[in-house]
Amino acid sequence: MKYKRIIIISLFINVLFLVSCSDKVEKESSWEKGFKQHEVIMNGKHISFILPENYIHTDMSDIRTREEASGVDFLTLKTFYSTQNNKNKFITAIFPTEYNESLIDLYMKSYFYYWIVQDMVPFFEKKYDKNNHVYYLVMTAKIESIPQTEQKYIHSEFLYITIFGEGYYLCGLSSYDPIDSFSYEEKRKIIESVKIEEIK
């Protein structure tokens, strides 16, 4: 029964993807107007990405994320929350890891089962940046009901994951969207905008 549910969710996400692609031309121009470029420095790395203009960073944003992820060992963290929906956020974080860069494929295989336990269907894409450094894009989602509401939401996670030295780097967009306003293309655009480069 559990695997049947996962298959159904997977098919639903695929349908959303196809519908979103069909609207790409009409929506793209408005996205450009509503986005803002961000840049942060972490552990000697320059990290850049785009976010909707309503996402902002404050010190309280970081404190809230640390409280929600109690017990997680962040080496460094920055969180941008949406001012329109305070459950939607984008984080850039570095965690300690025992895996080195050459073992990222092994790490990602183990990560796959984490998402399955969450009843979320993960889609992984292995990519290389301009310096031939490996990174992964992870896209996953499931349908949920937010407590005290009757409306169904799509809880999605779009992630950029890589390893430098002894640091596991994560840039992630976590969102709760009403089903009729979910945009795969918009979230994909955000996560594909992430660039991590050495400061020279």
Q: What's the confidence (pLDDT) of residue 118?
A: 85
Segments making up each domain of the chain, as ranges? 2-198
Nearest to 94 by CA among 133, 50, 40, 132: 40
CB 95 within 8 A of CB 167: yes
Q: What's the confidence (pLDDT) of residue 70?
A: 85
Q: What's the confidence (pLDDT) of residue 57?
A: 96
Q: How far apart are CA 154 and CA 132, in angstroms?
A: 34
Q: What CATH number does the domain located at 2-198 have?
A: 3.40.1000.10
Mean pLDDT by 10 residues, the chain (200 residues): 46 45 40 86 94 95 92 91 95 92 90 86 94 95 80 93 93 94 94 92
Q: What's the confidence (pLDDT) of residue 21?
A: 41
Q: What's the confidence (pLDDT) of residue 193?
A: 97
Q: What's the confidence (pLDDT) of residue 6?
A: 44
